[in-house]
Structure 1
Amino acid sequence: MENISAYENGPDPGQHINHNDTDPTFDDDSNSFDDYYHEHVNSIFEIVIYGYILPVLVIISSLCNCLVIGGFLRKHIRTSANIILVLIAISDSLTGLVTLPATFYVYSREQMLLSKDWCNATMITRLYIARAFHTISVWETVLLWFQRFLHVRHPAVANR
């Protein structure tokens, strides 16, 4: 009983919990909890930035990217460079939008204990999916540089 009450307020800062498969005292079934302690919500700074300012910035930047997409996809200004800029706008918007639901849920409500599903959703979207879209944006920027380089260095090849 004493061990479970320690988890109600989260683990002690100096307490080291060894949960590995080689530890003979670790029993996976006896320590299964429905809620996971989310250590990242520990300052008012994080709550304000991630809970209130980040969602507004993501929505504003996504709306601006929608304007970029709508503008550059018109027939009379559709060029290869503008198509690459549209792709960059899409991947930049998705970088913020995929993290928005989980981040807003965790930080705006100041959730200290998360269900397993919310913990997994938060970490997967922040650590994998958002980074993948950001990496795509970086490579699209490199592609735009290469396309511009071809137009300057070899204009005859680039026009084909």
Structure 2
Amino acid sequence: MEMTAASPAANTSGAEPAIEYCGAGVAAFSVAYRQLHGYLALGVCLFGLTTNILSIVVLTRKTMASPTNAILAGLAIADIMVMVMYVPFTLHYYIQAFGASSLTYGWAVFMLTYVHVTQVFHTVSIWLTVVLAVWRYLAIGHPSLNREWCSMKNTSVAIVSAYIFCPILCIPSFLTFAITPIDNSTGRFLVDFSDLSKQSNKLLEKLNFWVYSVHVKLLPCVILTIFSCCLIWELLKVKKRKSELLHRATAGNSKLSCAERHTVRTTRMLLAILLLFLLTEFPQGILSLLSGILGEQFLDQCYNKMGDLMDILALINSAINFIFYCSMSTQFRSTFQQLFLSFEWMPRPFKMGIASDGTDCTRV
């Protein structure tokens, strides 16, 4: 079972000819990796829970208040909820730490809760990342619009809207799956397609597939790709401008201001977050779309076999942002040091810490 949702509905109308989409190598990899996945996923989750909590503590300080940091804090909360649900899931279904049957009613209730909660919060994470990309593009490409549109008030509205809208977007999934008894006499249960999803030629099942594969996966990935390209273009323009300034005769115009340097560093950090997100989400969206188009054979041979790998990539994406903050944001490092570290530590300045206009850049 995948982290972000149950397997998408497949086109099951009529018998399908035997087609081999993914060979024995994919199946062998799936079996081999499954032996490691539980322990690896547990380690990533524990690391990610710790770092995301630390990130929230740092990003919510008064000195760190900004629209970008507010979005990053909202993103960290969503990632925490995903990993909180994944820990008991991996302990039971991969490591088998609890020693109980997976077919009891209690574990069926947990499984259904796990599917819905992780899908909702992962969807929140996806769309907050889209908001982050749009906000950052406005900040670097259209500063006047950024001041008007990306205020703290509008940012708060965007974050709250994501947390309200995403559960609504996941309603088809809520209705598609239900706890189903395997055999009433044995008391064994599993999560399967609901009776409602099987009515009207599986209309609800198909609707859930399109919502999941297109609106939850591919559409935000396409938007992120567009804005990531725009951000890269803006960074290239800044680099070109800096090169032109360096060739000017007057030394006073030979360097970028502290504000410009801060903007470039922040944009590079957020661009790294966006590109990592695309690397983990785009493949899953494409596989999900192909599963619906090509049917159950592709779903069984490819999508399900790659499920554990897609899970660990998504978990790594949720856990690694703290590393980007520490490595690329001097302000984040300084605030983190003030809150958690007792020894004296001076952040790396920009070339002695003084800009061409005499401004101290060491705190940027």
Matching residue of 2:140: 152
Give the deviation of 1:153 after TM superposition.
3.2
C-alpha displacement of 1:99: 2.5
Unaligned ranges ≥5, structure 1 = 1-42
1:117 is aligned, of 101, 106, 111, to: 106
Kept after mapping to 2: 8 A contact 1:88/1:140 = yes
Give CA-to-partner distance per residue, 1:66-101, whole Å, 9 cap, x none: 121111111112100011011111111211112222
In structure 1, how many angstroms separate the alpha carbons of the residues matched to 2:100 and 2:130? 40
2:131 corresponds to 1:133: no
Q: Deviations over 1:90-141 (max 9, x none)?
A: 111211112222331232227583212113312430x321122111111000
C-alpha distance 45-101 of structure 1, shift in aligned 2 (>3 A): same
Question: For structure 1, which segment, 127-136 or 57-66, has the greater mean C-alpha deviation from structure 2 after superposition?
Answer: 127-136
Query: For the residues of structure 1 that align with 2:33 and 2:101, how far apart are their CA atoms?
Result: 19
**1:77-116 to 2 correspondences below 5 Å:** 77-109=64-96, 113-114=101-102, 115-116=104-105
- Rounded to whole Å, the distance in 1 between the matches of 2:80 and 2:50 is 9
Partners of 2:113 and 2:32 in 1: how far apart?
24
Name the CA distance, whole Å, in 1 between partners of 2:36 and 2:109.
Answer: 22
User: Given the alignment of the two structures, is residue 57 of structure 1 paired with residue 44 of structure 2, yes or no?
Assistant: yes
The alpha-carbon deviation at position 47 of structure 1 amounts to 4.7
Q: Quote the Cα distance in structure 2 between the aligned partners of 1:63 and 1:89.
A: 11
Q: Is the 8 A contact 1:103 1:122 kept in 2?
A: no
CA distance in 1, matches of 2:113, 2:34: 19
Task: Note closer, same or farther for the CA distance 1:45–1:123 as it changes in structure 2 (3 Å cut).
Answer: farther
Which whole-Å CA distance do the structure 2 matches of 1:141 and 1:117 have between them?
Answer: 34
The runs of 5 or more residues in structure 2 that have no matched partner are 1-30, 149-364
CA–CA separation in structure 1 for the residues paired with 2:60 and 2:80: 16
CA drift of 1:154 comes to 2.8
After TM superposition, give the deviation of residue 44 of structure 1 in Å.
7.0
- CA contact 1:151–1:158 (8 Å) conserved in 2: yes
Three-state SS of the structure 2 residue aligned to 1:141 is: helix
Q: One-letter code of the match for 1:108?
A: I
Structure 1 residue 70 corresponds to structure 2 residue 57: yes
CA–CA distance in structure 2, aligned partners of residues 118 and 102 of structure 1: 10
Cα gap change, 1:48 to 1:120, in 2 (>3 Å): farther
Q: Distance in 1 between matches of 2:48 and 2:40?
A: 12
Following superposition, the deviation at residue 46 of structure 1 comes to 2.7
- After superposition, the Cα gap between the structure-2 partners of 1:157 and 1:44, relative to the gap in structure 1 and judged at 3 Å, is closer
Residue 142 (str. 1) matches residue 105 (str. 2): no
Greater share of helix: 2
SS class of match (2:94): helix
Q: Does the CA-based 8 Å contact 1:69-1:86 persist in structure 2?
A: yes
State the superposition RMSD in angstroms.
2.4
